[in-house]
A and B are shown apart, each in its own frame.
Chain A
Amino acid sequence: MQPSTLVPESISEQLALTVNGAVRTVPAGFTVADLLASLKLDARTVVIEHNGTILRDRSSFASLQLSAQDLLEIVHFVGGG
Protein backbone atom coordinates (compact mmCIF):
# COMPACT_ATOMS: atom_id res chain seq x y z
CA MET A 1 0.00 0.00 0.00
CA GLN A 2 1.50 3.31 -1.11
CA PRO A 3 0.76 6.38 1.01
CA SER A 4 -1.52 8.60 -1.02
CA THR A 5 0.95 11.47 -0.82
CA LEU A 6 3.25 9.53 -3.16
CA VAL A 7 0.61 9.33 -5.87
CA PRO A 8 1.11 12.19 -8.33
CA GLU A 9 -1.61 14.77 -7.96
CA SER A 10 -1.19 16.24 -11.39
CA ILE A 11 -2.33 14.22 -14.39
CA SER A 12 0.01 16.32 -16.49
CA GLU A 13 3.03 14.37 -15.25
CA GLN A 14 4.33 12.27 -18.13
CA LEU A 15 6.08 8.93 -18.15
CA ALA A 16 8.45 7.90 -20.92
CA LEU A 17 8.25 4.26 -21.92
CA THR A 18 9.19 2.15 -24.89
CA VAL A 19 6.43 0.57 -26.93
CA ASN A 20 7.40 -1.67 -29.84
CA GLY A 21 10.85 -0.17 -29.93
CA ALA A 22 9.81 3.50 -29.91
CA VAL A 23 9.72 5.88 -26.96
CA ARG A 24 6.27 7.19 -26.09
CA THR A 25 5.05 9.35 -23.27
CA VAL A 26 1.88 8.66 -21.38
CA PRO A 27 0.29 10.43 -18.42
CA ALA A 28 1.23 9.12 -15.00
CA GLY A 29 -1.35 6.65 -13.78
CA PHE A 30 -1.96 5.26 -17.28
CA THR A 31 -2.84 1.57 -17.27
CA VAL A 32 -2.20 -0.99 -19.98
CA ALA A 33 -5.87 -0.71 -20.91
CA ASP A 34 -5.52 3.08 -21.20
CA LEU A 35 -2.52 2.63 -23.47
CA LEU A 36 -4.42 0.24 -25.74
CA ALA A 37 -7.36 2.61 -25.87
CA SER A 38 -5.09 5.53 -26.76
CA LEU A 39 -3.60 3.41 -29.55
CA LYS A 40 -7.10 2.37 -30.72
CA LEU A 41 -6.26 -1.31 -30.24
CA ASP A 42 -8.72 -4.02 -29.29
CA ALA A 43 -7.33 -5.92 -26.31
CA ARG A 44 -8.81 -9.16 -27.67
CA THR A 45 -6.66 -9.08 -30.79
CA VAL A 46 -3.28 -8.33 -29.27
CA VAL A 47 -0.81 -9.91 -26.89
CA ILE A 48 1.33 -7.76 -24.62
CA GLU A 49 4.73 -8.41 -23.18
CA HIS A 50 5.48 -6.07 -20.26
CA ASN A 51 9.13 -5.88 -19.19
CA GLY A 52 9.69 -9.36 -20.54
CA THR A 53 6.62 -10.90 -18.96
CA ILE A 54 3.67 -11.89 -21.12
CA LEU A 55 0.38 -10.60 -19.73
CA ARG A 56 -1.65 -13.77 -20.15
CA ASP A 57 -4.65 -12.45 -18.25
CA ARG A 58 -6.35 -9.67 -20.22
CA SER A 59 -8.39 -8.73 -17.16
CA SER A 60 -5.15 -7.41 -15.65
CA PHE A 61 -4.88 -4.72 -18.35
CA ALA A 62 -7.22 -2.33 -16.55
CA SER A 63 -5.41 -2.51 -13.23
CA LEU A 64 -1.78 -2.67 -14.34
CA GLN A 65 -0.29 0.82 -14.14
CA LEU A 66 2.62 1.72 -16.35
CA SER A 67 5.91 2.98 -14.97
CA ALA A 68 8.64 5.13 -16.45
CA GLN A 69 11.03 3.16 -18.67
CA ASP A 70 8.69 0.23 -19.02
CA LEU A 71 9.39 -1.93 -22.06
CA LEU A 72 6.26 -3.03 -23.86
CA GLU A 73 5.82 -5.22 -26.87
CA ILE A 74 2.39 -5.32 -28.44
CA VAL A 75 2.04 -8.10 -30.99
CA HIS A 76 -0.69 -9.70 -33.06
CA PHE A 77 -1.15 -12.35 -35.71
CA VAL A 78 -0.31 -11.47 -39.27
CA GLY A 79 -0.23 -13.50 -42.46
CA GLY A 80 2.54 -16.07 -42.53
CA GLY A 81 3.43 -19.54 -43.71
Chain B
Amino acid sequence: MAHADLLSPAPLGRSPGERIAGEAFVIAGREFHSRLLVGTGKYASNAQMIEAIEASGAEVVTVAVRRVDLDRSKDEGILHHLDPDHFFLLANTAGCYNASDAIRYARLARAAGFNEWVKLEVIGDQQTLLPDTIGLLQATKTLVDEGFKVLAYTNDDLITALKLEDAGAVAVMPLASPIGSGLGMLNPYAIRTIKQRLSVPVIVDAGVGTASDACIVMEQGVDGILMNTGIAAAQDPVRMAAAMKGAVEAGRNAYLAGRMPRREVAVPSSPTTGMLGGGA
Protein backbone atom coordinates (compact mmCIF):
# COMPACT_ATOMS: atom_id res chain seq x y z
CA MET B 1 0.00 0.00 0.00
CA ALA B 2 2.78 2.39 0.93
CA HIS B 3 4.43 1.59 -2.38
CA ALA B 4 1.32 2.59 -4.28
CA ASP B 5 1.41 6.00 -2.63
CA LEU B 6 5.03 6.49 -3.61
CA LEU B 7 4.53 5.31 -7.15
CA SER B 8 1.42 7.34 -7.88
CA PRO B 9 1.45 10.56 -5.89
CA ALA B 10 -1.76 12.55 -5.77
CA PRO B 11 -2.20 15.01 -8.62
CA LEU B 12 -0.76 18.40 -7.83
CA GLY B 13 -3.10 20.89 -6.31
CA ARG B 14 -5.57 18.23 -5.24
CA SER B 15 -5.48 18.77 -1.52
CA PRO B 16 -5.40 22.39 -0.39
CA GLY B 17 -3.41 21.60 2.79
CA GLU B 18 -0.54 19.88 1.03
CA ARG B 19 -0.11 22.05 -1.98
CA ILE B 20 3.34 22.81 -3.24
CA ALA B 21 4.11 26.52 -3.24
CA GLY B 22 3.10 28.11 -6.49
CA GLU B 23 0.57 25.45 -7.30
CA ALA B 24 -2.63 27.39 -6.71
CA PHE B 25 -4.23 28.28 -10.03
CA VAL B 26 -6.56 31.18 -9.38
CA ILE B 27 -8.43 33.26 -11.95
CA ALA B 28 -10.49 36.20 -10.69
CA GLY B 29 -10.48 34.79 -7.17
CA ARG B 30 -11.68 31.35 -8.22
CA GLU B 31 -9.33 28.44 -7.74
CA PHE B 32 -9.03 25.64 -10.26
CA HIS B 33 -7.15 22.39 -9.91
CA SER B 34 -6.53 21.65 -13.56
CA ARG B 35 -4.34 23.96 -15.59
CA LEU B 36 -5.74 22.49 -18.78
CA LEU B 37 -8.81 24.23 -20.18
CA VAL B 38 -10.51 22.62 -23.14
CA GLY B 39 -12.86 23.50 -25.95
CA THR B 40 -15.88 21.49 -27.00
CA GLY B 41 -15.84 21.98 -30.77
CA LYS B 42 -15.01 19.69 -33.70
CA TYR B 43 -15.65 16.33 -32.01
CA ALA B 44 -17.06 13.47 -34.07
CA SER B 45 -19.83 12.99 -31.53
CA ASN B 46 -21.03 14.40 -28.24
CA ALA B 47 -20.19 11.11 -26.54
CA GLN B 48 -16.61 11.37 -27.75
CA MET B 49 -16.43 14.98 -26.59
CA ILE B 50 -17.58 14.09 -23.09
CA GLU B 51 -15.17 11.17 -22.87
CA ALA B 52 -12.27 13.32 -24.04
CA ILE B 53 -13.08 16.10 -21.57
CA GLU B 54 -13.25 13.58 -18.74
CA ALA B 55 -9.87 12.17 -19.80
CA SER B 56 -8.36 15.66 -19.93
CA GLY B 57 -9.30 16.36 -16.32
CA ALA B 58 -10.31 19.89 -17.34
CA GLU B 59 -12.71 21.86 -15.17
CA VAL B 60 -13.09 24.85 -17.47
CA VAL B 61 -14.70 24.09 -20.81
CA THR B 62 -15.39 26.62 -23.51
CA VAL B 63 -18.61 26.88 -25.47
CA ALA B 64 -19.77 29.10 -28.32
CA VAL B 65 -23.00 31.07 -28.74
CA ARG B 66 -24.96 30.40 -31.91
CA ARG B 67 -28.49 30.63 -33.24
CA VAL B 68 -30.71 27.68 -32.49
CA ASP B 69 -31.37 25.91 -35.78
CA LEU B 70 -35.14 26.05 -35.74
CA ASP B 71 -35.68 23.79 -38.73
CA ARG B 72 -33.65 20.84 -37.53
CA SER B 73 -35.44 19.12 -34.70
CA LYS B 74 -32.44 16.99 -33.78
CA ASP B 75 -30.14 19.95 -33.33
CA GLU B 76 -29.57 20.28 -29.63
CA GLY B 77 -27.57 22.71 -27.58
CA ILE B 78 -24.46 21.43 -25.87
CA LEU B 79 -26.14 21.68 -22.46
CA HIS B 80 -28.09 18.56 -23.36
CA HIS B 81 -24.77 16.71 -23.18
CA LEU B 82 -22.52 18.70 -20.90
CA ASP B 83 -23.60 18.94 -17.28
CA PRO B 84 -23.09 22.55 -16.20
CA ASP B 85 -22.86 21.41 -12.59
CA HIS B 86 -19.73 19.41 -13.37
CA PHE B 87 -17.85 21.90 -15.51
CA PHE B 88 -17.18 25.60 -15.40
CA LEU B 89 -18.66 26.92 -18.63
CA LEU B 90 -16.59 29.59 -20.31
CA ALA B 91 -18.45 31.14 -23.24
CA ASN B 92 -16.38 32.48 -26.08
CA THR B 93 -17.05 35.13 -28.69
CA ALA B 94 -15.49 33.11 -31.49
CA GLY B 95 -16.48 34.24 -34.95
CA CYS B 96 -16.80 37.91 -33.97
CA TYR B 97 -14.89 40.30 -36.19
CA ASN B 98 -15.47 43.55 -34.34
CA ALA B 99 -15.85 44.80 -30.79
CA SER B 100 -19.59 45.40 -30.91
CA ASP B 101 -20.36 41.88 -32.14
CA ALA B 102 -18.13 40.41 -29.45
CA ILE B 103 -19.86 42.52 -26.80
CA ARG B 104 -23.27 41.39 -28.05
CA TYR B 105 -22.25 37.72 -27.92
CA ALA B 106 -20.77 38.15 -24.45
CA ARG B 107 -24.03 39.68 -23.19
CA LEU B 108 -26.06 36.84 -24.71
CA ALA B 109 -23.76 34.31 -23.06
CA ARG B 110 -24.10 35.98 -19.69
CA ALA B 111 -27.89 35.91 -20.01
CA ALA B 112 -27.68 32.12 -20.09
CA GLY B 113 -27.20 32.56 -16.38
CA PHE B 114 -24.13 30.50 -15.55
CA ASN B 115 -21.47 33.11 -14.85
CA GLU B 116 -20.12 36.47 -15.94
CA TRP B 117 -16.96 35.12 -17.52
CA VAL B 118 -16.16 35.39 -21.19
CA LYS B 119 -13.31 34.21 -23.34
CA LEU B 120 -13.15 37.30 -25.49
CA GLU B 121 -12.12 36.87 -29.10
CA VAL B 122 -12.19 39.67 -31.63
CA ILE B 123 -10.82 38.20 -34.82
CA GLY B 124 -9.08 40.42 -37.33
CA ASP B 125 -8.45 38.18 -40.30
CA GLN B 126 -10.29 35.17 -41.70
CA GLN B 127 -7.24 33.39 -43.04
CA THR B 128 -5.11 33.44 -39.90
CA LEU B 129 -7.82 34.08 -37.28
CA LEU B 130 -5.31 36.40 -35.65
CA PRO B 131 -6.85 38.80 -33.14
CA ASP B 132 -7.80 42.40 -33.85
CA THR B 133 -6.05 43.73 -30.79
CA ILE B 134 -7.54 47.23 -31.08
CA GLY B 135 -11.09 45.88 -31.15
CA LEU B 136 -10.15 43.44 -28.41
CA LEU B 137 -8.98 46.21 -26.14
CA GLN B 138 -12.14 48.25 -26.77
CA ALA B 139 -14.40 45.28 -26.07
CA THR B 140 -12.41 44.39 -22.94
CA LYS B 141 -12.92 47.87 -21.51
CA THR B 142 -16.66 47.85 -22.19
CA LEU B 143 -17.22 44.37 -20.81
CA VAL B 144 -15.11 44.99 -17.70
CA ASP B 145 -17.23 48.09 -17.05
CA GLU B 146 -20.32 45.89 -17.31
CA GLY B 147 -18.97 43.52 -14.67
CA PHE B 148 -17.69 40.77 -16.93
CA LYS B 149 -14.65 38.68 -16.07
CA VAL B 150 -12.76 38.93 -19.34
CA LEU B 151 -10.22 36.33 -20.43
CA ALA B 152 -8.76 37.95 -23.51
CA TYR B 153 -7.50 35.88 -26.44
CA THR B 154 -4.62 37.84 -27.92
CA ASN B 155 -1.42 37.48 -29.89
CA ASP B 156 1.98 37.08 -28.29
CA ASP B 157 2.66 40.83 -28.14
CA LEU B 158 3.75 42.06 -24.72
CA ILE B 159 2.41 45.59 -25.12
CA THR B 160 -1.07 44.40 -26.00
CA ALA B 161 -0.96 41.97 -23.08
CA LEU B 162 -0.01 44.79 -20.70
CA LYS B 163 -2.82 46.98 -22.05
CA LEU B 164 -5.34 44.17 -21.62
CA GLU B 165 -4.25 43.74 -18.03
CA ASP B 166 -4.56 47.50 -17.47
CA ALA B 167 -8.03 47.39 -19.00
CA GLY B 168 -9.09 44.90 -16.34
CA ALA B 169 -8.81 41.51 -18.05
CA VAL B 170 -8.73 38.77 -15.38
CA ALA B 171 -6.51 36.62 -17.59
CA VAL B 172 -4.56 37.19 -20.76
CA MET B 173 -4.47 34.41 -23.31
CA PRO B 174 -1.71 34.71 -25.86
CA LEU B 175 -1.63 32.25 -28.72
CA ALA B 176 1.11 29.68 -29.15
CA SER B 177 0.38 29.77 -32.90
CA PRO B 178 -2.79 30.39 -34.94
CA ILE B 179 -6.07 28.76 -33.91
CA GLY B 180 -6.36 25.21 -35.19
CA SER B 181 -2.88 25.24 -36.73
CA GLY B 182 -1.23 22.72 -34.42
CA LEU B 183 2.10 24.44 -35.04
CA GLY B 184 3.08 24.52 -31.38
CA MET B 185 4.70 27.50 -29.70
CA LEU B 186 6.34 29.73 -32.30
CA ASN B 187 7.82 32.31 -29.94
CA PRO B 188 8.76 31.01 -26.50
CA TYR B 189 10.59 34.24 -25.72
CA ALA B 190 7.43 36.29 -26.24
CA ILE B 191 5.34 33.94 -24.10
CA ARG B 192 7.93 33.95 -21.31
CA THR B 193 8.18 37.71 -21.41
CA ILE B 194 4.41 38.14 -21.16
CA LYS B 195 4.30 35.74 -18.21
CA GLN B 196 7.13 37.56 -16.46
CA ARG B 197 5.57 40.99 -16.86
CA LEU B 198 1.90 40.36 -16.08
CA SER B 199 0.30 39.90 -12.69
CA VAL B 200 -2.90 38.27 -13.95
CA PRO B 201 -2.78 34.63 -15.04
CA VAL B 202 -1.35 33.96 -18.49
CA ILE B 203 -3.08 31.08 -20.24
CA VAL B 204 -1.73 30.08 -23.63
CA ASP B 205 -4.63 29.60 -26.00
CA ALA B 206 -4.43 28.04 -29.44
CA GLY B 207 -1.80 26.31 -31.52
CA VAL B 208 -0.88 23.31 -29.37
CA GLY B 209 -0.73 20.27 -31.64
CA THR B 210 0.51 17.44 -29.49
CA ALA B 211 1.59 16.63 -25.95
CA SER B 212 5.18 17.82 -26.32
CA ASP B 213 3.89 21.22 -27.47
CA ALA B 214 1.80 21.48 -24.30
CA CYS B 215 4.71 20.44 -22.13
CA ILE B 216 7.04 23.03 -23.66
CA VAL B 217 4.41 25.75 -23.23
CA MET B 218 4.00 24.91 -19.54
CA GLU B 219 7.78 24.84 -19.08
CA GLN B 220 7.77 28.57 -19.87
CA GLY B 221 6.02 29.13 -16.55
CA VAL B 222 2.60 30.12 -17.85
CA ASP B 223 -0.38 29.41 -15.66
CA GLY B 224 -2.33 27.17 -18.00
CA ILE B 225 -3.25 26.15 -21.53
CA LEU B 226 -6.53 26.23 -23.39
CA MET B 227 -6.85 23.91 -26.35
CA ASN B 228 -9.49 22.38 -28.55
CA THR B 229 -8.29 21.17 -31.95
CA GLY B 230 -5.14 19.58 -30.51
CA ILE B 231 -7.40 17.08 -28.77
CA ALA B 232 -10.48 17.00 -31.00
CA ALA B 233 -8.57 16.55 -34.26
CA ALA B 234 -6.31 13.76 -32.97
CA GLN B 235 -7.00 10.34 -34.43
CA ASP B 236 -7.92 9.18 -30.93
CA PRO B 237 -9.13 12.30 -29.10
CA VAL B 238 -9.73 10.54 -25.79
CA ARG B 239 -6.20 9.20 -25.68
CA MET B 240 -4.78 12.57 -26.73
CA ALA B 241 -6.79 14.25 -23.98
CA ALA B 242 -5.11 11.98 -21.45
CA ALA B 243 -1.73 12.75 -23.03
CA MET B 244 -2.38 16.49 -22.79
CA LYS B 245 -3.33 16.14 -19.14
CA GLY B 246 -0.04 14.42 -18.43
CA ALA B 247 1.92 16.90 -20.53
CA VAL B 248 0.47 19.94 -18.77
CA GLU B 249 1.27 18.44 -15.38
CA ALA B 250 4.76 17.39 -16.50
CA GLY B 251 5.52 20.80 -17.98
CA ARG B 252 4.33 22.55 -14.84
CA ASN B 253 6.42 20.26 -12.65
CA ALA B 254 9.47 20.78 -14.83
CA TYR B 255 9.02 24.55 -14.61
CA LEU B 256 8.72 24.42 -10.82
CA ALA B 257 11.65 22.02 -10.57
CA GLY B 258 13.87 24.38 -12.56
CA ARG B 259 15.74 22.87 -15.43
CA MET B 260 19.51 22.40 -15.51
CA PRO B 261 21.47 24.95 -17.48
CA ARG B 262 22.10 24.20 -21.12
CA ARG B 263 25.79 23.55 -21.88
CA GLU B 264 27.36 23.03 -25.23
CA VAL B 265 29.96 20.66 -23.77
CA ALA B 266 29.56 17.20 -22.32
CA VAL B 267 29.84 16.71 -18.57
CA PRO B 268 30.19 13.08 -17.42
CA SER B 269 27.53 11.71 -15.13
CA SER B 270 29.75 8.95 -13.71
CA PRO B 271 32.89 9.43 -11.58
CA THR B 272 36.04 10.11 -13.60
CA THR B 273 38.24 8.67 -10.85
CA GLY B 274 38.69 5.01 -9.83
CA MET B 275 39.09 3.74 -13.35
CA LEU B 276 40.91 0.39 -13.81
CA GLY B 277 44.49 0.18 -14.97
CA GLY B 278 45.97 3.13 -13.15
CA GLY B 279 48.11 3.23 -10.05
CA ALA B 280 46.78 3.55 -6.49
Contact = CB atoms under 8 A, between A and B. Distances in A.
Q: Do A and B make up one complex? A: yes
B41 A81 contact: yes
Assign chain B's interface to a size class.
35 or more
Interface residues of A, number: 23
Contacts of A75: 65-68, 108
A81 B228 contact: yes
Nearest to A76: B77
A20 B229 CA distance: 28
Interface string A4-46: 0000000000000001111000000000000000011100011
Give the residue among B68, B73, B77, B80 with the most A Cβ atoms within 10 A: B68
Interface in A24-73: 39-41, 45-47, 49, 54-56, 73
Given A47-B108, A47-B111, A79-B40, A74 B70 contact: yes
Given A20-B67, A41-B68, A46-B68, A77 B77 contact: yes
A78 B63 contact: yes
Contacts, number: 93
A49 to B, nearest CB: 7
Contact of A78 (B73, B77, B111, B228): B77
A80 B67 contact: no
B49 A79 contact: yes
A38 to B, nearest CB: 10
Nearest to A40: B73
A39 B108 contact: no
B112 A47 contact: yes
B79 A81 contact: no
Contacts of B112: 47, 76-77
A8 B45 CA distance: 48
Nearest to A54: B111
B39 A54 contact: no
B64 A79 contact: yes
Contacts of A39: 68, 70
B134 interface: no
A47 B77 CA distance: 11
Interface string B47-70: 001000000000000111111101
Contacts of B70: 19-20, 22, 39, 74
Interface stretch (B10-18, B88-96, B239-247, B271-279): B88-96
B81 to A, nearest CB: 9
Given A40-B73, A47-B112, A73-B67, A78 B229 contact: no
A55 to B, nearest CB: 7
A71 to B, nearest CB: 13
B78 A74 contact: no
B163 interface: no
A81 to B, nearest CB: 3
A76 B67 CA distance: 6
A78 to B, nearest CB: 5
B67 A74 contact: yes
Nearest to B230: A81
A81 B229 contact: yes
4 nearest interchain CB pairs? A80-B64, A81-B39, A81-B228, A76-B77
Given A80-B40, A81-B226, 4 more contacts: A40-B73, A45-B77, A46-B68, A77-B89
10 contacts: A73-B108, A75-B65, A76-B65, A77-B91, A78-B63, A79-B42, A79-B43, A79-B49, A79-B64, A80-B62
